[in-house]
Amino acid sequence: MLRLARKNLLHDKLKLITAVTGVVFASVLMNLQVGMLSGFADTITALVARSPGDLWIMQDGTKNFEMVMGLPEQRHYQALATEGVEWSSRLIVDFTAWKTPTGQFEQVVIVGVDPERPVGLPWAMAEGEAAAIWRDGGVVCDDLERGRLGGGRRLVVGDEVEVHGHRARVVGFSRDVRSFTTTPFVFSSLASARDYAHGLDARTQVKFVVVGVAPGHDVEAVRARLLERLPEVEVLTKREFMARSVAYWLLGTGAGVMAILAAVLGLLVGGAIVGQAIYSQTMEKFREYGTFKALGGTNGELAGVILAQSLMTSLLGYGLGLVVSLVAARFANEGVLLILMPPGLVAGLGVVTVVMCAAATFGSVLRVVRLEPAIVFKA
C-alpha cells in the first residue's frame, strides 16, 4: 500500500505540489499563531518565572505583575520573622514617566530591586552589568527599546534621562526583556525606585514581598503561617501567580482573547486547507480507484492507500512548513514580538496536522468505499 500510495502521489507532481503547498500553508499558520500565543504567555510571566523565591506576598486582589497596589514595608520584616522563611526580598513595580534625552515622554514600568536579595534583576544583559543599578540613579532598560527610550536616537551607556522628575543615568541594557503591555521595563535599585515610582506613599513602600522557604519546611505550611501573621495580603506560589497573570491578560482582556482566537482560527483554517487538499487529491483519482476495485482490490486496501497518501502529504508539508515557521520566528524574535516554538509544541502541532489530514480523508474514504467498480466503464 505504501508503494502504491507513493507512486500515486508522484504520478502527477504538479498536483502533489499543490497538495503539499496547502499543508505547508496550514503548518505555517498553525505554528506561528500558536507560537505567538506561547510567546505571549512567556512574556507575561518572564520576570516572575526567572526570579528566585517560593512565595509572593501582595495586596489582596492583585491580578497581575504590572498592576498592583502597595504594601507597608513592615510586611517584609514580618515575613522574615515567620517560622520557615529563609529570606525575604522587597520589590517595587510601578508605571511611571520617562523623559528621553531629547525631551520626549514615554511610559515605562519601573522595577525596583532589593540590594539585600536581588529578586527581579534582568536575567541577561546585552551591554553593561545589572549590578550597576546600585550606583546612584542607575537604570537598565532593554536593548530592544534603545530607540524608543532614546527619543529617536539609540541610547548609550552613560546617557542621562529623567524618570518621574528625578535624574537617572543609563548603566546597561538587558536582553530580550519584553513586556506584554508594550510598556518597557526599566530596572533600578529599590531606593531609586521609591523616587521614580508614582504609586507609593509613606504607608506603601513596596509592591511585592518575595519569600524563600527554608530547606526542610513545607511551602504550604509556611504560606499558612504568613497568611495568619500578615493582614490584607495574598500569598501565592510562583506557579499560581504566573497562572493568574496569564489568565488575566489572555482571558480577561481583549488583546489576549484576540490572540487565542487567532490561534484557534489558525488551527481551523489549517484543517480546512488540509481537508480540501486531500479530498481534491482523492477525487481526481476516482476512476483509478474504481479500476483498482474492479481488479479485486478491497475497501480496506483502498482506505489504506488513501491514509498512506494523507500521511506522506502531511509529513512532507508539515516538515517544510516547520522550516518556514522557524525562519520567520527567528526574524520576528529580533524585534519586540516573541514567537516561541519549543520541541513539545512543534511535536504536538505535528500530531495535530497528521490527525487533521487523517480526519480529512474520512470523506474521501467514504466515497471510495461506496464506489462502484462499474464507474470505469462509464463514459
The rounded radius of gyration (Å) of the Cα atoms in the chain is 29
CB 177 within 8 A of CB 130: no
Helical (H) or strand (E) element with 87: strand 85-99
CB 79 within 8 A of CB 209: yes
Among positive and negative, which fits the CA dihedral 193, 199, 202, 207? negative
C-alpha to C-alpha distance for 368 and 154, rounded to whole angstroms: 64
User: What was the pLDDT predicted at 253?
Assistant: 73
C-alpha to C-alpha distance for 349 and 34, rounded to whole angstroms: 9
C-alpha to C-alpha distance for 21 and 15, rounded to whole angstroms: 10
Counting Cα atoms < 13 Å in the Cβ hemisphere of 9 gives 23
Cell numbers that stand for 276 in this block: 480540501
Q: Please give the single-letter amino acid code of residue 63.
A: K
User: What was the pLDDT predicted at 159?
Assistant: 93
User: What was the pLDDT predicted at 261?
Assistant: 77
User: What was the pLDDT predicted at 152?
Assistant: 84
Cell numbers that stand for 93 in this block: 513595580
pLDDT averages per 10-residue partition of the chain, 379 residues: 63 71 82 87 92 94 90 93 96 94 92 93 93 92 94 91 94 92 92 88 85 96 94 94 91 72 70 69 70 72 76 84 92 85 88 78 69 59
Residues in the chain: 379
Global model pTM greater than 0.85: no
The 3-class secondary structure across 110-136, one letter per residue, is EEEECCCCCCCCCCCEEEECHHHHHCC
Domain spans of the chain, in order of start: 2-44+254-377, 61-231
C-alpha to C-alpha distance for 337 and 268, rounded to whole angstroms: 23
C-alpha to C-alpha distance for 315 and 309, rounded to whole angstroms: 10
User: What was the pLDDT predicted at 276?
Assistant: 72
Beta strands in 100-230 (DSSP E): 105-113, 125-128, 138-142, 160-163, 166-174, 185-189, 208-213
Query: 8 - beta bridge partners?
Result: none
User: What was the pLDDT predicted at 314?
Assistant: 80
Return the residue matching grid coordinates 510586611: 75
C-alpha to C-alpha distance for 131 and 172, rounded to whole angstroms: 9
